């Protein structure tokens, strides 16, 4: 287990699909003090991909092998389909191995809370991969909000929109409560987390959640309105059926607004084989800078470089006793609870109050 030794911390990665291959494995490999020690996957093509991408990593077919030898790992990363997040996280906790779980932590607030409580009871570090807290546009918006350049913020608009009218095979498109599929759980987990990080707890939720594509089993088009206890209203859109994309972020205050277009470049860079530390990592070109001010008096604001690598750097530091984990797992419980309420709000056509969260 992790201790005072400065030898690289050994990481076991569960799953080598999109999340494991594109996000977790490259970021782990790029983080000083971490070593990708083992990858669990049975798929022959993915095993071959691991051999190509990370030839020094041990390939494991049965995850139970990891639980039987917990002293061989310092960290487990759960990058499986969503329905396995809870059982895999609980197994890691039971084995006493610190664990990172990809978002969303669970398919329900009750399950998420159970995992977090078990980890706390066993003294096992647990965090959730909310990488988009380190998007460059979000970091810039946060700096502007906290620096008072917008004045008193009244409304926050945030979008993850795509044009994918054809349904692709995969678990994200499968019905079933335990799958936690659909746009609201997938993209909404980022949008809700970012809104709460910027503007704090939420007192009510209203949502419109739809299935627009022919044959769709899960939601592919959703709008969520959060009213924060401080008075800010967050309007969040997530969609696979948007032929014309809106602003990525729009933050409106009583002194100025801030608007950006286009996604943070880090995901595309990772898909193309890019890695943190390479020239230009996380940067956007000046023609894509967001605009700050009021109509008639707008100026571009340089976008802070995105830094997904900060997540695992902070994980490594925390496991060595230097500070907290990068994401408080209780934040992930709140996010899942709000997503649950959004689904319910859409069914009932009502604004729903958010029950008080347990004291931290």
Given this structure, which CATH class describes domain 136-306+339-353? alpha beta
Distances (CA, A) of 163 to 67, 169, 170, 184, 192: 41, 16, 17, 16, 21
d(CA 8, CA 284): 32
pLDDT, block means (10 residues), the chain with 360 residues: 71 97 97 98 96 97 96 98 97 98 97 98 98 98 98 98 88 79 94 98 98 92 98 97 97 98 97 94 97 98 98 98 97 97 98 86
Classify residue 167 by its DSSP letter. Answer: P
pLDDT for residue 175: 76
In order of 35, 208, 298, the CA distances from 346 in angstroms are 44, 5, 37
Q: Where do you find CATH 3.30.360.10 in the chain? A: 136-306+339-353
Please tell me the predicted confidence (pLDDT) of residue 356: 86
pLDDT of residue 5: 54
* CATH superfamily, domain at 9-131+311-327: NAD(P)-binding Rossmann-like Domain (3.40.50.720)
Q: Rounded to whole angstroms, how far apart are CA atoms 180 and 102?
A: 13
User: Which residues, 6+ apart, have CB-to-CB distance to 169 below 8 Å?
Assistant: none
20 phi, psi to nearest 5 deg = -70, -45
What pLDDT does 4 receive?
A: 44
Where do the H-state alpha helices sit in the chain?
Answer: 18, 25-29, 44-53, 64-68, 85-95, 109-122, 136-146, 183-186, 188-199, 266-271, 309-319, 329-348
CATH 3.40.50.720 location in the chain: 9-131+311-327
Q: Please, is 236 exposed, middle or buried when counting C-beta atoms within 10 Å of its C-beta (0-12, 13-18, 19+)?
A: buried
Comparing C-alpha atoms, which of 27, 122, 20, 123 is closest to residue 79?
A: 20
If you write DSSP's letter for every residue of 4-26 in order, what string do you get? S--SPEEEEEE--SHIIIIIIHH
Closest CA to 128 of 24, 22, 270: 24
């Amino acid at each position: 287990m992790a201790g005072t030794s400065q030898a690289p911390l050994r990481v076991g990665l569960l799953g080598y699909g999109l999340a494991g291959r594109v996000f977790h494995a490259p970021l782990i490999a790029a983080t000083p003090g971490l070593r990708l020690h083992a990858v669990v996957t049975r798929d022959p093509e993915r095993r071959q991909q691991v051999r190509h991408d990370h030839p020094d990593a041990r390939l494991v077919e049965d995850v139970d092998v990891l639980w039987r030898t917990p002293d061989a790992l310092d960290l487990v990363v759960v990058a499986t389909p969503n329905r396995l997040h809870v059982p895999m996280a609980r197994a890691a906790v039971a084995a006493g191995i610190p664990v990172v779980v990809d978002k969303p932590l669970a398919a329900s607030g009750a399950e998420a809370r159970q995992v977090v409580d078990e980890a706390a009871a066993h003294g096992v570090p647990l965090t959730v991969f909310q990488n988009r807290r380190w998007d460059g546009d979000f970091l810039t918006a946060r700096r502007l909000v906290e620096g008072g350049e917008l004045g008193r913020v009244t409304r926050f608009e945030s979008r993850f929109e795509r044009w994918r009218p054809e349904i692709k095979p995969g678990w994200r498109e499968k019905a079933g409560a335990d799958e936690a599929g659909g746009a609201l759980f997938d993209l909404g987990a980022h949008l809700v987390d970012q809104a709460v990080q910027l503007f704090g707890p939420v007192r009510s939720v209203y949502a419109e959640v739809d299935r627009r594509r022919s044959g769709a089993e899960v939601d592919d088009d959703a709008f969520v309105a959060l009213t924060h206890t401080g008075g800010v209203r967050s309007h969040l859109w997530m969609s696979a059926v948007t032929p014309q994309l809106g602003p990525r972020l729009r933050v409106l205050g009583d002194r100025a607004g801030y608007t950006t277009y286009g996604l943070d470049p880090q995901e595309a860079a990772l898909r193309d084989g890019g890695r943190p530390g390479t020239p230009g990592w996380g940067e956007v070109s000046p023609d894509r800078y967001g605009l700050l001010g009021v109509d008639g008096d707008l100026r571009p604001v340089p976008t802070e470089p995105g830094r997904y690598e900060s997540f695992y750097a902070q994980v490594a530091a925390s496991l060595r006793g230097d500070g907290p984990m990068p994401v408080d797992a209780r934040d992930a419980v709140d996010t899942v609870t709000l997503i649950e309420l959004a689904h319910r709000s859409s069914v009932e056509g009502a604004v729903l109050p958010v029950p008080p969260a347990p004291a931290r």
